Copies of this chain bind each other. A is one copy, B any other.
Amino acid sequence: MDEFAFIQSIRPAYLHQKSLIQGIDDDAAVFRPGNRDVVTTVDTMVDGVHFSKDTMEPFHIGYRALAANLSDLAAMGSVPAFYLVSLVVPKDYSHEELKGIYEGMKELAEAYQVDLIGGDTVSGKELSISITVMGYVKIGEARYRSHAQAGDRIFVTGTLGDSRGGLELLLNQMDSSSEAAAYLIQRHRQPSPRVRFAASIHDIDRLALNDVSDGIANEANEIAAASQVDLHIENNWLPCSQALAALFPNDSQEWMLSGGEDFELLGTVAEENWQAVQAAADELHLPIHIIGQVEEKAKEFGQVILHKNSEAAVLKKSGYTHLKGGE
């Protein structure tokens, strides 16, 4: 396909960001941040590794790829502004399929007023999609993993493990006619980056945030390591959707810890600010739950301790636990 013709076919009809000076028509794009910090990250997904045409329409592939990136910006407390897309496309991929990928990104981009400002489309053996996003945050107000402190409440938005449940339904071609199954599949294919929630709590002084891409076992460990604190998580407080509990009663526990790709936000906040966090989530009709508390580290490094009934175990990045003290 003629790359130029394709770019014309997917170029945004309308640009949302007033700070954009030059879009996709020159060697590079130009924007004017003014008195704001810029937040940026890149994420790449490859066919057969991160998604499959068996479980995703092109539309979902595009939607989910951009959602994963916007989720990273949300976890920095940043409001997304721009994205650039690089696609490697196999020769047998049709123009319709390619357009489907862009349509998926576009739907999400419209919802969050994010402008496409660059990218390229090149030929290759397998489909891969690499997205770079850029967002703004007030000077010095980015949220870091290293900002957790002893005494903080640990919270998580939404529910956990749903995306993994949806994937399982699709992979095993299980009955997807129920409302519960449709819900889990939707959560897998079209996750909701918590951009608005993160933006709505920007006036809270200190907050550690991380987005749930690999599972909270992993993300909690990242916060513990970066902040040099212990995160104590109550297993029974982990939020499980009714759909997941109903369809996967035996797996929900493991998937909530290590399922990943829910793109919810895991955070810690001072006790006195918890009510403001909860009020912000309520305003957006976004479920939010306290799942534990931050304490001083017991060893030389920060760890995650999972409490279950009267037992406590160290929770590893993988989601694997072993009895506390057995280290």
Contacts and interface: CB of A to CB of B under 8 A. Distances in A.
Interface in A70-120: 72-73, 75-76, 78, 82, 84-88, 117-120
A27 interface: yes
A32 interface: yes
Given A27-B211, A49-B122, A42 B84 contact: yes
A210 B27 contact: yes
Contacts of A284: none
B86 A44 contact: yes
A258 B21 CA distance: 31
Interface in A2-46: 21-22, 25-33, 37-46
Interface residues of A, number: 60
Nearest to A121: B44
A107 B46 CA distance: 28
Contacts of A123: 46, 49
Contacts of A45: 122
Copy total for this chain: 2
Given A44-B86, A46-B88, A84-B41, A76 B28 contact: yes
A187 B42 CA distance: 30
Given A38-B38, A42-B119, A30 B88 contact: no
Contacts of A117: 40
B21 A31 contact: no
Given A27-B72, A28-B76, A75-B27, A142 B46 contact: no
A319 to B, nearest CB: 17
Given A120-B42, A137-B30, A142 B22 contact: yes
- Chain A interface helix/strand/loop/mixed: strand
Contacts of A151: none
A130 B44 contact: yes
A276 B62 CA distance: 48
Given A26-B144, A124-B126, A21 B37 contact: yes
A132 interface: yes
A241 interface: no
B44 A88 contact: yes
A133 B28 CA distance: 9
Contacts of A132: 40, 42, 84, 132
Given A37-B30, A38-B31, A145-B26, A122 B84 contact: no
A229 interface: no
A71 to B, nearest CB: 8
B46 A122 contact: yes
Sort A-B residue pairs by CB-CB distance and give the 7 closest, nearest first. A28-B41, A132-B132, A27-B75, A44-B86, A27-B72, A42-B84, A86-B130
8 contacts: A27-B75, A28-B40, A28-B41, A31-B37, A40-B134, A45-B122, A86-B86, A128-B128
Interface of A: 21-22, 25-33, 37-46, 49-50, 72-73, 75-76, 78, 82, 84-88, 117-120, 122-126, 128, 130, 132-135, 137, 139-140, 142, 144-146, 209-211, 226
